[in-house]
Every structure is written in structure tokens, then in C-alpha cells.
Amino acid sequence: MYQILVADAISEEGLYPLLNDTNAEIIQKKTDDPEVDLSTIKALLVRSATKVTDELMAEMPNLKIIARAGVGVDNIDVPAATKRGIIVINAPDGNTISTAEHTFAMMASLMRNIPQAHSSVKNLEWKRNQYVGTELFGKNLGIVGMGRIGSEIAKRAKVFGMSVLVFDPFLTKERAAKLGVESTTLDEILQRSDIITVHTPLTPETKGIINEEALKKTKKGVRLLNCARGGIIDEQDLAKYVANGHVGGVALDVFETEPPGEHPLLKYDNVIVTPHLGASTKEAQLNVATQVAQEVRTYFEGNPVSNSINLPAISKDIYEKIQPFYQISKQIGNILTQCVKEGVHELSITYSGSVTELETAYLTKAMLSGFFKGRIDVNVNEVNALLTAKERGITVGEKISTEAFGYDNCISVTAKGEENAFTVRGTFIDHYGPRIVYLNGFNIDFLPEGNLLYIQHMDRPGVIGHVGQVLGDHHINIATMQVGRKQAGGEAIMVLAFDKPLSENELSLLNNLDEIVSINPIIL
Ligand SMILES: NC(=O)C1=CN([C@@H]2O[C@H](COP(=O)(O)OP(=O)(O)OC[C@H]3O[C@@H](n4cnc5c(N)ncnc54)[C@H](O)[C@@H]3O)[C@@H](O)[C@H]2O)C=CC1
Ligand SMILES: O=C(O)CCC(=O)C(=O)O
């Protein structure tokens, strides 16, 4: 018998797979309800209201699985769960349509002043001239984040006769063409869009992606929507641009803090809001509840789950053997994703030396999970990494080679984008650890860990001194530094490690040095 705590409002009908399981006991109560004995709970089902912190998990020593009936897992401390060996699962696509439809409803409402006009009529007014709207037809819609929800919005926008511009570093030309959208840069979207809607996860990269600097580039009168996560559009900066009349209207379903309380944006008539209702339909709630209930049941029946955020899908024994290679594969994938700034359509992995005796397919999945890390907040683990790559139009190739470049083992991965290819090679050396030994055409040797900075520069006397000088002036301690070059006086690279990430200002000072071709922070 296993006890399941359903801590948030989750569709009862969707819980059927568990209600129907004679081994399951369902408790529908809040986690702080004094009647709940947290210590015996084995599965916790939540939406976004319950914050699943490390402290809460500490009170639940028998907890095996946390299920999020929805997409975003930002209310769950996933690293803490992983450390405690607790599986976290979600329901990635059950609420896609509902959220896309809600976004579209918000967009239409915004353009036609529907909430304002509705309140006015209810107040016994009849102000037809005050609520003249704007058509969607013929307008440029900018979509930032072209995953499941972004794609559904694009489809609907096209039916409404809108031109769709999208920005998503993961979107390949082929997929954009298939969806009939124009894949472009964030700057183009800012400059050309009449309406901009964001549909990315909230990550360090996307937090404030629409901030003052971005808002400055937008058309006067631009309309902005956020039905993804509060903070993707910086709320303080947005309030400034609504106040000065540059932004013509805003629709928000999500806030940096929910509920937002007394919020500067709420006082403006052209800001329309809903209380995080994107996924609040009977259909979406039934879908996500059924998905997670089925997954929890599958898990307790001893079978692998398919929507886990953090579960390696192999036995503990094999996992231990493969662990060092697993880590380096993941790091190679993550380095690639941070270095390749364009859409990638192919990832080819070559294994050589002793690593070929292991389950390389598993390592390929680990590499993919590293590649997707920080881009997608759902479902990117070894269980379904290949499916995720396929969904995103990325071909994954795996081969075995005898060429280990002088190492006992070598994992080499090439990411092919529209314009360029980028190769990273790594190895694991017993009693020494993981090393990256090749980066984009250069032999090098560094530990893939922490805050790194990958610099491409010209091999000229004094360049290392100039870099050192800038860092020294800012009291930045270089933990390690490795250099590589192909020939004297030609192109060269250095990889530096720091105790903390460099600021934008420090990066820009380095970038301005004469000999520097490009700089690229890598955080592992
Ligand atoms: N308002 C609501 O009730 C709901 C909100 N959501 C939110 O919507 C978000 C999107 O959901 P899905 O489409 O299902 O996720 P998804 O993972 O299918 O799509 C996210 C897309 O964002 C892209 N992306 C990541 N970093 C980016 C960046 N720096 N710039 C541009 N694009 C970037 C990814 O490549 C991916 O294609 C979720 O993360 C969740 O936070 C989801 C469901 C309901
Ligand atoms: O449970 C909800 O209603 C929130 C849905 C959501 O934001 C998500 O699935 O990421």
C-alpha cells in the first residue's frame, strides 16, 4: 500500500488510475494540514500552489515521486529532489491547447478592449467611441519561444491573417518552414512586431529577456503578452514603458509574485490581467491529472516512467559504472548548447576506446539532456531525450570509432547548425577526472565544471596579459586558465575558470580588447 498526498486542486476524474488502484490510498489535503502524517507519504501530487521545498521534502522521508500536474516545475526544488533520490515528473503537453487558447483570448481582448468595455457597460455606460479597437488581421505577431504552446499560437495567428515572426534558438529552418513562420532574431522581433508574446520557460537566460533595453527597440504602441511565467518580461521596466505611453497594451496571466498584490501595472486601464488561468480548463486539468496519475501508478508498478525530469532510466549497478561517462556526456551537451547560438539540426556522437564497452545509447541520452538543459523546463532526461530531439527536428547520430586521439576513451560530439558545425571532445581519466580535450577545432585540456569563459582570440604577444589586466582591475581571481592554438600567430582559444560568473560589464570589457574575436561564458 502506498499513500499519495494530493496537495492542490487536481481533477478528481483524472485521478481515476490511482483511485482504481487497490494498492493506493489517496489523501486530498494541504501539506501543512495537521491531520496529514507527511512521514508516510510516498507520492506527492501538486499543481503550482504547493511549494515543494527541500525543507518539505526533509519532512517526507518516504517520498519517492513528486508529480506536477502541469508543465512548469518552478514550484519544485528539483535539484533538492534529485539529491534526495526523489523522482519528479510532470505532464508536459496536457495543457498546451488551453494555454494557447487563453493567450489568444487575451490577445483578442487586448486589441478590442473587451474587459474595459465589459466593465463600462456593466457600470451602465455606453461609450462606443472610447473602445475603438485594432484588428489582428495583417499585424506582425512576434513569438519568443516556439515550443508546444508557441507553435499552437502560431497556427492560430496564421488563420487570423497575421504574419508570424519567431525567436527560438532551438528552432531549425526546416521546422520554421513547416510551421509557416519567419524564424528571426530577438532584435528583429522587437523592432517589427505589433504584438509580442512570450512562451519560454523561466530560466536565467529568459528572465527579463524583455527588459528596458528590449522595450526601447519596440514599435511605439506595441502590445505585450505574458502567459508563460512572471519575470520573462521585466515587470518594473514594463510599468515604465506603459507609464510613458510607449507600450500600447499589456496582457498578463502570470506575475513574478503570485498573487501580485498592489502592483504598479494594475492601475493602468490598458493592462489586462487574469490570475494564472492558462491551464484552467476542464479538458487541460483532466489531461494533466490523468497523465500524472497514470505515471505514478506505472512507477509504483515498477515500470519506468516517461515524463520524468530527473530520473536516470537504468539500474543502480549499471548507473554506477557508467556514472563518470554519464557526467562528461552531459557536460559536453551542455557546453554545446551554450556555445552554439543558432538552431541545431544534427548532433553526431562518436565513442571511442574503453567507453564503447558500455551502454553508449544511455550516454547519448545523457548528452542530449545536457544539450537541452536550461532551454526547456520539462521532460529532458535520459528517458525521453531522443523523443525530445525528434520533436525539435534534431537528428541524433551515434557511431563507434577506433580513433581515441591518444586517450583511453573519448566522446566526441558535433552539433550542426544552419551555418556552422561545432565539435566538443571529452574524456574521463581515472584518478584525474573528466576533461574537455577539444573545442571547435582546438586541442585544449580543461575541467568541465563551474564558471568558465571560452575566449577566441588572435595569437599575439600580450593577449593573455591584457585579459589578466582587465580581470585584475576588477579584482577577479582566475582559478585556472588553459590555452590552445593551431599555429603561431593564428587563431587561438583560452578557457578560464572563475569562482563566480563575470558581470555583463566585465564581459564587455574583455570583448572590447583588440585581439579578442569572441567571448562565451559557459556555466556548468
Ligand atoms: N499560464 C499557464 O497557465 C501556463 C504556462 N506555461 C508556461 O509556458 C511555458 C512554455 O510551455 P511549453 O510551450 O509547453 O514549453 P516548451 O518546452 O515546449 O517550449 C519552450 C520553448 O522555449 C524555447 N526557449 C528556451 N529558451 C529560450 C530563449 N532564451 N529564447 C527563446 N526561446 C527559448 C525552447 O527552445 C522551447 O522551444 C512553460 O515553460 C510554462 O512556464 C505552461 C502551461 C500553462
Ligand atoms: O496548474 C496550473 O494551473 C498552472 C499551469 C502552469 O503554469 C504550467 O503547467 O506550467
* DSSP-derived 3-state class of residue 396: strand
Residue 316 scores a pLDDT above 70: no
Ligand nearest to the CA of 70: 2
Q: What is the pLDDT of residues 142-157, one digit of tens each?
A: 999 999 999 999 999 9
- Report how far residue 111's alpha carbon sits from residue 105's, in angstroms, rounded to the nearest whole number: 10
Question: What HEC string does 210-270 produce?
Answer: ECHHHHHCCCCCCEEEECCCCCCECHHHHHHHHHCCCCCEEEECCCCCCCCCCCHHHHCCC
pLDDT bracket for residue 92 (50, 70, 90): very high
pLDDT of residue 82: 73
Question: Does the CB atom of residue 167 touch ligand 1 within 6 A?
Answer: yes
Q: What is the pLDDT of residues 346-356, one digit of tens each?
A: 999 999 999 99
Supply angle C-alpha 211, 374, 386, rounded to 5.
140
Q: What is the mean pLDDT of residues 478-503?
A: 91
Atom 8 of ligand 1 has which residue's CA nearest to it?
A: 228
Name the average pLDDT for the chain. Answer: 93
Atom 25 of ligand 1 has which residue's CA nearest to it?
A: 375
Question: Does the CB atom of residue 125 touch ligand 1 within 6 A?
Answer: no
ipTM above 0.90, yes or no: yes
- All three cell numbers of 49, joined, read 500552489
Q: What is the pLDDT of residues 409-460, one digit of tens each?
A: 999 999 999 888 999 999 999 989 999 999 999 999 999 999 999 999 999 8
Q: Which helix (H) or strand (E) holds 158?
A: helix 148-159
Q: Is the pLDDT higher at 322 or at 136?
A: 136
Q: What is the pLDDT of residues 462-480, one digit of tens each?
A: 999 999 999 999 999 999 9
Q: What is the pLDDT of residues 101-126, one digit of tens each?
A: 999 999 999 999 999 999 999 999 99
Residue to substitute in 229, 276, 307 for testing ligand 2 pocket (most ligand atoms within 8 angstroms of CB): 276
Question: Does the CB atom of residue 228 touch ligand 1 within 6 A?
Answer: yes
pLDDT bracket for residue 320 (50, 70, 90): low
Atom 3 of ligand 2 has which residue's CA nearest to it?
A: 279
CA of 145 to the centre of ligand 1 (A): 6
Residue 490 scores a pLDDT above 60: yes
Phi, psi of 482 (to 5 degrees): -125, 145
Ligand 2, CB cutoff 6 Å, lining residues: 47-48, 70-72, 95, 276, 278-280
Q: What is the mean pLDDT of residues 485-503?
A: 90
Residue 276 scores a pLDDT above 60: yes
Residue 306 scores a pLDDT above 90: no
pLDDT of residue 86: 83
Question: Does the CB atom of residue 179 touch ligand 1 within 6 A?
Answer: no
The percent of residues above 90 in pLDDT, for the chain, comes to: 80
- All three cell numbers of 420, joined, read 556552422
Q: What is the mean pLDDT of residues 392-420?
A: 92
Residue 129 scores a pLDDT above 80: yes
Q: Decide: 427 and 328 in contact? Cβ < 8 Å.
A: yes
Question: Does the CB atom of residue 225 touch ligand 1 within 6 A?
Answer: no
- Report how far residue 395's alpha carbon sits from residue 417's, in angstroms, rounded to the nearest whole number: 11
Q: What is the mean pLDDT of residues 317-333?
A: 84
pLDDT of residue 394: 93
CA of 70 to the centre of ligand 2 (A): 5
The catalytic residue positions are 229, 258, 276
Question: Does the CB atom of residue 144 touch ligand 1 within 6 A?
Answer: yes
Q: What is the pLDDT of residues 241-275, one digit of tens each?
A: 999 999 999 999 999 999 999 999 999 999 999 99
Q: What is the mean pLDDT of residues 61-88?
A: 89
The reported pTM is 0.73
- All three cell numbers of 419, joined, read 551555418
